[in-house]
């Protein structure tokens, strides 16, 4: 199972938490701009990484082949294990620069970028994309073939059309189609919320592996539980105590970031984690309204003392 790259979430603190809980096969960075990377220092908070966070995939947002060389050179120097090309980001900043989903929409430019990465990077290379703008199969089929032909070692499909919101269920049937078209292994992604979903996605789509995004922040123990339940068919120990997991995350944030950045990342994570609690909206709103990290953690502690998790929901597992 792979951790999905998520801006604002998959930084060193969450990755350390997931490593401590176990079960993740491949961790990921947040999306990194290939253009900016050569000007950053490896100890920049966005790039910080401890030896325990391994193996780690570094996701690059690239718009043009000229950006590839300098970015790959620094990644090589920092000891990158896996490189992932972002072909799915539909956000305005990707649109402005012509990266992410907007690179994927331009096949000749995508080919030039992937070819340039492959020319300069001998290590494992993957590419993560959304489906095309609508139900036409041809552009997706062409993209999938191109990625295999140009030397991607595997591909990840986030099974939503380019502009589709998260409220709409992921289109798992498209993962099955991509699997038929692909010459390389396929990782399925979208709406995996429980260990059972991991098994279901693999059975329904034939995908080779599963990538988990938001559920990694809602239930960081999902990887270990799915590893035991789906792949080893073993018996599960007791559920981890969500309160302890949450406070450990706060501790890791404090170790990894200055107070302002820790607060932002605590808020981002709490938005997802609060779903474990019947009155989670109160937790989310009180953390959201906090003006400093210490205050946010104190409010979270108070909430945890007064509220148990709602274990009947799938989110609580």
Residue 88 as a binder of ligand FMN (CB under 6 A): the answer is yes
Residue 4 as a binder of ligand FMN (CB under 6 A): the answer is yes
CA atoms within 13 A on the CB side of 14: 32
Residue 89 as a binder of ligand FMN (CB under 6 A): the answer is yes
Q: Report residue 44 CA to chain centroid gap.
A: 20
The residue among 7 and 202 lying less far from ligand FMN, judged by its C-beta, is: 7
**Nearest distance from residue 192's CB to ligand FMN, in Å?**
5
User: What is the sign of the dihedral through the CA atoms of 271, 275, 280 and 283?
Assistant: negative
CA atoms within 13 A on the CB side of 292: 4
Residue 213 as a binder of ligand FMN (CB under 6 A): the answer is yes
**Residues of span 234-293 touching ligand FMN by CB under 6 A:** none
Beta strand segments in the chain, E: 2-3, 27-33, 56-61, 82-87, 125-130, 154-158, 186-189, 209-212
Q: Is 316 annotated in the active site?
A: no
**Range in contact with ligand FMN (rule: CB under 6 A) among 65-73, 103-111, 183-191, 275-283:** 183-191
Give the one residue of 1, 2, 5, 223 binding ligand FMN; rule: CB under 6 A.
5
The residue among 189 and 286 lying less far from ligand FMN, judged by its C-beta, is: 189
**Range in contact with ligand FMN (rule: CB under 6 A) among 177-185, 210-218, 283-291, 307-315:** 210-218
The residue among 189 and 229 lying less far from ligand FMN, judged by its C-beta, is: 189
Residue 219 as a binder of ligand FMN (CB under 6 A): the answer is no
Give CA–CA dist 29/68, Å, rounded: 17
Helix (H, G, I), strand (E, B) or coil at 91: coil
Can you state the angle between helices 293-306 and 280-288, rounded to 10 degrees? 160
Count of positions on this chain that bind ligand FMN (CB under 6 A): 22
**Nearest distance from residue 308's CB to ligand FMN, in Å?**
26
Q: What angle do CA 285, 290, 292 make, to 5 degrees?
A: 155
The values of phi and psi at residue 3, to 5°, are -85, 130
**Nearest distance from residue 165's CB to ligand FMN, in Å?**
11
**Range in contact with ligand FMN (rule: CB under 6 A) among 68-76, 198-206, 212-220, 297-305:** 212-220
Helix (H, G, I), strand (E, B) or coil at 143: helix
Single out the residue of 218, 222, 108 nearest to residue 210, CA to CA.
Answer: 222
Residue 64 as a binder of ligand FMN (CB under 6 A): the answer is no
Residue 296 as a binder of ligand FMN (CB under 6 A): the answer is no
**Residues of span 139-158 touching ligand FMN by CB under 6 A:** 158
Give CA–CA dist 85/103, Å, rounded: 10
Burial label, 70 (beta-carbon count in 10 A; 0-12, 13-18, 19+): middle
What does the binding site for ligand FMN look like in residue numbers (CB under 6 A)? 4-9, 30-31, 59, 86, 88-89, 128, 158, 189-192, 212-215
- Catalytic residue list: 89
């Amino acid at each position: 199972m792979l951790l999905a790259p998520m801006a604002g979430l998959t930084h060193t603190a969450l990755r350390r938490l997931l490593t401590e809980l176990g079960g993740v096969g491949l961790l990921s960075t947040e999306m990194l701009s290939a253009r900016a990377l050569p000007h950053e220092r490896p100890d920049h908070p966005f790039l910080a990484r401890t030896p325990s966070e391994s193996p780690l995939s570094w996701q690059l947002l690239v718009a043009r082949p000229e950006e590839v060389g300098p970015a790959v050179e620094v990644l090589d120097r920092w000891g990158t294990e896996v490189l992932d090309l972002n072909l799915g980001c539909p956000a305005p900043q990707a649109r402005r620069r012509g990266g992410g989903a907007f690179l994927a929409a331009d096949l000749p430019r995508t080919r030039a970028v992937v070819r340039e990465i492959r020319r300069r990077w001998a290590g494992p290379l993957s590419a993560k994309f959304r489906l095309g703008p609508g139900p036409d199969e041809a552009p997706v089929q062409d993209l999938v073939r191109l990625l295999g032909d140009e030397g991607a070692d595997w591909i990840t499909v986030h099974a939503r059309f380019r502009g589709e919101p998260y409220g709409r269920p992921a289109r798992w049937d498209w993962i099955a189609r991509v699997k038929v078209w692909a010459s390389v292994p396929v990782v399925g992604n979208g709406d995996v919320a429980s260990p059972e979903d991991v098994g279901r996605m693999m059975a329904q789509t034939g995908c080779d592996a599963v990538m988990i995004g938001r559920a990694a922040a809602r239930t960081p123990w999902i990887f270990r539980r799915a590893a035991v339940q789906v792949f080893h068919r073993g018996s599960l120990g007791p559920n981890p105590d969500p309160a302890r997991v949450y406070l450990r995350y706060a501790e890791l944030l404090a170790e990894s970031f200055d107070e302002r950045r820790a607060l932002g990342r605590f808020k981002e994570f709490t938005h997802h984690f609060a779903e474990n609690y019947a009155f989670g909206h109160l937790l989310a709103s009180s953390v959201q309204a906090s003006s400093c990290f210490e205050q946010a953690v104190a409010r979270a502690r108070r909430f945890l003392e007064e509220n148990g998790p709602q274990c009947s929901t799938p989110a609580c597992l």
